[in-house]
């Protein structure tokens, strides 16, 4: 067996409270995995401290922030939002994960129910999926007509321009994963009694409709990746890396210090 050589820094991490927690989580010691997870948690805690500062700035200056999380099913959008919001003040942020429109909402201007959930001054809103459902999920699954899709694509850039010009910071994330990684995550969800509820009929057909999703995603990027509201593509095949990248981008984009 090859001798494991650790640097002084790695030894200190593994001997810390966080390092020992990750080292002892499995009966079979896995130093590399423990180091990776400990480094992630240490880095995440640093960033979460900065997020508290950012939120305090938003509250003090009565700023408005919208962060959109888009991506394929099982891309890790919800998990990223949970890490980002873990320690900020719940009174001054909201997570918007809208269900299927009601009959009344279906008869309104498409963007109306999203307008109703935009932030008040001093508030951050995280959209776990957003108005971009109509750009990809709805046309792929037949949930909207071609006219409704085209109308959305013709209006969305102007809608976002109005949001930004009203004094709102708008960040658009797209969490990108590979087809085999999505399949692996679906298998993990189905095998877990605690996660099985997450699977929906739309999720069940996601692998079969992979190419159709890709085609609409490409059209979405081409039309809506604007200078005023660009897309930020996050490589989400590694969940920890994706969470760090998204958090760092928020901190870099919002001028809180």
In this prediction, residue 35 carries a pLDDT of: 81
Domain 62-253: top CATH class = alpha beta
Summarised one tens digit per residue, pLDDT across range 55-105 is: 999 999 999 999 999 999 999 999 999 999 999 999 999 999 999 999 999
- Domain ranges across the chain: 62-253
Relative to beta strand 168-176, strand 231-235 is: parallel
CA distances from 215 to 130, 137, 144, 165, 173 (A): 19, 11, 16, 31, 18
Q: DSSP label at 10?
A: H
> Which residues neighbour 74 within 8 Å (Cβ) at sequence distance 6 or greater?
177, 182, 185, 186, 189, 203, 206
Among residues 171, 183, 184, the alpha carbon closest in space to that of 233 is found at: 171
Confidence band (pLDDT; 50, 70, 90) for 46?
very high
Q: Of 27, 45, 119, nearest to 84 (Cα)?
A: 45
pLDDT over 70 at 19, yes or no: no
């Amino acid at each position: 067996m090859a001798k494991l050589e650790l640097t002084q820094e790695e030894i200190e991490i593994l001997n810390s409270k966080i390092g020992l927690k990750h080292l002892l989580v499995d009966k079979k010691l896995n130093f590399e995995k423990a180091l990776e997870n400990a480094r992630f948690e240490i880095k995440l805690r640093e960033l979460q401290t900065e997020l508290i500062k950012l939120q305090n700035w938003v509250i003090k200056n009565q700023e408005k922030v919208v962060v959109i999380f888009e991506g394929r099913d099982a891309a890790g959008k919800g998990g990223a939002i949970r890490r980002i919001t873990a320690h900020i003040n719940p009174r001054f942020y909201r997570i918007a994960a809208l269900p299927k429109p009601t009959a009344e909402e279906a008869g309104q201007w498409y963007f109306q129910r999203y307008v109703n959930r935009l932030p008040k001054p001093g508030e951050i809103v995280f959209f776990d999926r957003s108005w971009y459902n109509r750009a990809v999920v709805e046309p792929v699954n037949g949930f909207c007509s071609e006219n409704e899709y085209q109308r959305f694509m013709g209006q969305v850039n102007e809608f976002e321009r109005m949001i930004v010009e009203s004094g709102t910071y708008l960040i658009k994330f797209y969490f990108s994963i590979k087809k085999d990684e999505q399949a692996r995550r679906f298998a993990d969800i189905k095998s877990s009694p605690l996660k099985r509820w997450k699977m929906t009929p739309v999720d069940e057909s996601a692998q079969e409709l992979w190419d159709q999703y890709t085609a609409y995603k490409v059209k979405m990027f081409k039309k809506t990746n604007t200078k005023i509201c660009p897309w930020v593509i996050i490589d989400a095949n590694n969940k920890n890396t994706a969470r760090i990248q998204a958090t760092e981008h928020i901190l870099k984009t919002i001028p809180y210090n």
